[in-house]
Structures are given as C-alpha cells and as structure tokens.
Amino acid sequence: MRYSVKIRQLLFAVFIFGMLLFNQPILGIFNNGTIAGIPNLLFYIFLIWGIIILVMALITLINPTKTKKN
C-alpha cells in the first residue's frame, strides 16, 4: 500500500517526534516517583508509545488517499 507524499511526511514527522520523546534527557525527567504504584518512567514510556501508535494509525486510517499504481 502506497500513501501520498503528505501522509508519508506526517508519519516521518511523528516518528522523529517520538524519537525525541524517547531521548535520554527527556527520560531522565521521569526517572523518579510513582503514579498509582507504577514507576513514572515505565508509565511515561508506555503512554508515549501508545500515543505514537494511535496517532500513526489515525493518520493512515482517516486519510487513506493512495497514489495510482503504474
């Protein structure tokens, strides 16, 4: 399945943003404390991971424009 250039650019931007959110200085912010007995770091990692998957799924499902097959 081939997506339009705009969708590919959006997916790439979400990927890069996700990489920045999983960078060491950002992860260091959440390295202490707990939320409902779950360590903040673990909570942050799974929350951001789920949000990235959700955003990428919405990008591909809401705008399913495909390029013509040659």
pLDDT per position as a tens digit, 25-49:
999 998 888 888 889 999 999 999 9
Predicted TM-score (pTM) of this structure: 0.78
Residue corresponding to tokens 């990008």: 59
pLDDT at 10 over 70: yes
Q: How confident is the model at residue 64 (pLDDT cuts 50, 70, 90)?
A: low
**Strand pairing of 38-39 and 34-35?**
antiparallel
> φ, ψ for residue 12 (rounded to 5)?
-65, -40
Q: d(Cα 17, Cα 49) in Å, to the nearest integer?
A: 11
Summary count for the chain: helices (H), strands (E): 3, 2
Candidate from 9-13, 15-19, 36-40, 61-65 with smallest mean pLDDT? 61-65
